[in-house]
Amino acid sequence: MLFQRYRIVIFKENSGDSLNFRSRGWPLFVLVLLVIGLSISTAWLFTEHQKLRAAKSRLAEAELNFEEQQAKLVALLDRLSVIRNDLNRIQTFDTKLRAMMSIDGEFTPVGGAQGGPESDLLAPGKLPLHRQALILRKLNTYLSQLAAETRLEELRQQELLLTMRHTRELLPTVPTIWPVEGFLTSRFGRRTSPFTGQVLFHKGIDISARPGTPVSSTAGGKVILAGMDGAYGNSVIIDHGAGITTRYAHMKSINVQRGQTISRGDQVGSVGSTGRSSGPHLHYEVHVNNVPVDPMHYILN
């Protein structure tokens, strides 16, 4: 049957014209198979295309939901960082007050050794799906830790308040303000000497300011030195009682006299560059029982 000859006649409507084709059976059979295969392929492709469009739609929706969840998570991390910084600031303030009141206590940053949420996960675009579950667990742990730290800080503040009530008379003699308006250029502790290049211990802090800028007493007390003091140049030392003294060095002028009683904020001199100095600045020290301590532990404003 496939190898027999066939004649195909096509008549034109409303006319007597016609077209004649002669062919064997197998080409016709192949043609029919091609038409059927093409139809099936077209239907399959159309179905797959519809499935692909639906999949793309679901993917776009999932990506949108993922971006929204990621944005919310990043915002939550940012809020937690703000809370952590605020609590750290409160704890730092607590530590300063305890130092002034001579109360034992040590500042521990919120989050302990963990340091809170991982900083590399705070940036948008760095939150893959497989990390979100881990981050959420860390956030829950961190929130619990913040709650515990807050409760502990409340107890510390209550203890501190009770102590301050009993030592109220000492507060005016504690050096809690900046001695001069300027820029902090050198901190307390080990540093490289600008004169010798050697690492030496810096007993105070250096505050750079314009020559003649007023220098104020950081607390009330009695002047025990007012004049030249070797490498310190024009200096003033004030005894505030309770073993606390402050030194103001390298000044251009001195406005107080030895034995004079002054209050917090009174002008003791002006910024200069006398003595062994590399430029106009105030060298400021705080001593407790003749031991130099970091003045930044006392400054509150």
pLDDT of residue 183: 93
Structural contact between residues 175 and 262, judged by C-beta atoms closer than 8 angstroms: no
pLDDT of residue 9: 65
Q: How would you write the chain as a 3-class SS string?
A: CCCCEEEEEEECCCCCCEEEEEEEHHHHHHHHHHHHHHHHHHHHHHHHHHHHHHHHHHHHHHHHHHHHHHHHHHHHHHHHHHHHHHHHHHHHHHHHHHHHHCCCCCCCCCCCCCCCCCHHHCCCCCCCHHHHHHHHHHHHHHHHHHHHHHHHHHHHHHHHHHHHHHCHHHHHHCCCCCCCCCEEEECCEEEECCCCCCEEEECCEEEECCCCCEEECCCCEEEEEEEECHHHCEEEEEEEECCEEEEEEEEEEECCCCCCEECCCCEEEEEECCCCCCCCEEEEEEEECCEEECHHHCCCC
Put residue 233 in one of left, alpha, beta given phi > 0 → left and psi -120 to 50 → alpha. left
Task: Give 10-residue mean pLDDT values along the chain (301 residues).
Answer: 62 68 63 81 84 84 75 73 75 68 52 45 50 69 74 71 61 86 92 79 94 95 95 95 92 96 94 92 94 89 63
pLDDT of residue 20: 66
pLDDT of residue 152: 76
Please state, in angstroms and rounded to a whole number, the distance separating the CA atoms of residues 260 and 286. 19
Residue 70, exposed/middle/buried by CB under 10 A (0-12, 13-18, 19+)?
Answer: middle
Please state, in angstroms and rounded to a whole number, the distance separating the CA atoms of residues 268 and 219. 11
Radius of gyration of the chain (CA): 42
Please state, in angstroms and rounded to a whole number, the distance separating the CA atoms of residues 267 and 252. 13
Q: Which amino acid is at 81?
A: S
Handedness of CA 72, 78, 82, 85 (dihedral sign): positive
Q: How many CB atoms lie within 10 A of CB 112?
A: 10
